Structure 1
Amino acid sequence: MLILALDTALEACSVALHDLEADRTLVRLQERMARGHAEALIPMVERALDEAEVAISDVDAFAVTVGPGSFTGLRVGISAARGFGLATGKPVIGIPTLTVLAAPLLAQDDRVPVAAAIDARHGNVYLQMIGAAGRVLVTPRATSVKDAARSIANGPVRLVGSGARLLTEVWPSGERLPVEIQIETMPDPVWLARLAGVADPARSEPKPLYLRDADAKPQTAQRIARR
């Protein structure tokens, strides 16, 4: 099963072509960028297909990170994945960004839970904690850094993501410090493909998982009333 994975949720644009049965990555491309995902994604997909010497019709399924993340970035990746799925008639599978960040650490050892945290700015983080056998211990949420730290500091834990350092700065006094900290800010598209390969497409729709409202909101205070 050949999966094309797309990630534009955070400050990177990433593409991977992964053969699930052989657990072999044909191509993995990743570039850090704060903006410009819309312009970069399709050329990156074309490059990946060329390097792997496969056609888009050879892909069996498409995977995409659905958030949390940049509102604009999420729309870029999800729209592209949906477009590919519509054009080829192949399934499109959405995987939460926090789950992708946690996956490599859980694959190494799932005996110690992993808390994935993304800096949501203004003293907040997006948070999820996963334990043994993929059991969700803290559901995906947007919360203050202090509340996030308190919710996961009740036992051994590993931290990953751009919000990991923020959590350690407000770690509750007297609680055991995290066993491991990885300030990884880019979801791995290969792990995105692997997770999509074992996900149920019917329960993993490519719909945005925003967790909170956008920072930019319409200005209504001075709106002129229509007559």
Structure 2
Amino acid sequence: PWDRLPAGAHRLEGGPTGGGVKPDSCTPLSCGVKTAALTLAIEVSNPSAAHEGSGPGVTVGRVGSDHIEVLGVEMLRSKRRHDDDLMPAIERLWSQLASAGLIGDKREIDRVAVSVGPGGFTGLRVAVVAGKMIAEVTGALCVGVPSACVVARRAGSDLPTPFGVALASKKESSVVMVFDGPTQVVRLSEPGGAHEYGHVIEADTLEALGVRGLIADRFLPESMRTRCSELGIRIDEPVFDPVACLEASAAFKEVAPIELVPMYGREPEAVRKWRELHG
């Protein structure tokens, strides 16, 4: 379902902490919410790639098929990977909302949406495990949201389309998912190793994507930056916004906690080394 997002969705008034998304249409595969559901959304997928004013963080809101109401947002107090502020941030947010009378018992949570990658190996695992645990305890369902879809929702209005979101850069390659707009993923023929989370792209295969803009963090390989300059492809910084994760979650299927898994851009290094050592 990763490429089945509602076409023509638009932002409602209110901005990053008070707005929402109203899909003009949904397919059965892409529209996971039928009635307003209290949702906790977690965006900690790329903590080392986030810049000032951008994730990681969590938010709680009510998600329906035609409107999203954001109740509150709490950003993590440290972006360093070894400082785990995720669960404390969730507790701080819940306490604030409970004090304001906006929510009550934690078992009211219907859905836990997690930005599942591609991204940092540790950050993704922490987020997915936390999401699973919370869902198991509260009886909620889980929603896995590709991190590229989270980033795409905060694309600049003047960014040329189609544009790509490049994540999980390593050595000379990045994982790129292509969008026709902030809510619409484009499925293209394989220019270089296509997967459900995007294409593994290097400088010499970038042109085949046909993008006019690229959202990429500071880890984008220099060879790809040079190629973008040669092709006239504009590069913007990504915004990792937990509210964007909440918004995007309306388009994806709810699954049992056991089915929530990270999306890695390539085989994890630890797995590769283990296989090499032990066959």
> Which TM-score tier does this pair reach, normalised by the shorter chain?
0.7 to 0.9
Deviation at 1:165, TM superposition (A): 7.7
In the alignment, is the contact (CA less than 8 A) between 1:164 and 1:181 conserved in 2? no
Task: Please provide the CA RMSD for this pair.
Answer: 3.0
What is the aligned counterpart of 1:51 among 69, 78, 96? 96
> TM-score, normalization: structure 1?
0.79
Deviation at 1:94, TM superposition (A): 0.3
Distance 1:51 1:148 in 2: 48
In the alignment, is the contact (CA less than 8 A) between 1:164 and 1:183 conserved in 2? no
| Partner in structure 1 of residue 206 of structure 2 | 149
SS in 1 for 2:206: helix
What is the aligned counterpart of 1:171 among 203, 213, 228? 228
Is the aligned partner of 1:84 residue 2:144? no
Q: Name stretches of at least 5 consecutive residues in structure 1 with no aligned partner.
A: none
In the alignment, is the contact (CA less than 8 A) between 2:107 and 2:138 conserved in 1? yes
| Partner in structure 2 of residue 159 of structure 1 | 214
| Partner in structure 1 of residue 274 of structure 2 | 218
| Partner in structure 1 of residue 75 of structure 2 | 30
Distance 1:121 1:220, change over 3 A: closer
Distance 2:170 2:96 in 1: 38
Deviation at 1:219, TM superposition (A): 8.5
Is the aligned partner of 1:69 residue 2:119? yes
Distance 1:120 1:34, change over 3 A: farther
Instruction: Report percent identity of matched pairs.
Output: 21
Which one has the bigger helix percentage? Answer: 1
CA deviations 1:26-80 (Å, max 9, x no partner) are: 222224523135x311101000101112342222211001111112211110011
> TM-score, normalization: structure 2?
0.66
| Partner in structure 2 of residue 128 of structure 1 | 177
Distance 1:172 1:150, change over 3 A: farther
| Partner in structure 1 of residue 254 of structure 2 | 201
Instruction: State the aligned residue count.
Output: 214
In the alignment, is the contact (CA less than 8 A) between 1:13 and 1:40 conserved in 2? no
SS in 2 for 1:116: strand
Q: Name stretches of at least 5 consecutive residues in structure 2 with no aligned partner.
A: 1-36, 48-54, 189-193
SS in 2 for 1:198: coil
Relative to structure 2, which stretch is displaced further, 187-196 or 201-210?
A: 201-210
Q: Which has the higher contact order (CA 8 A, sep 6+)?
A: 2
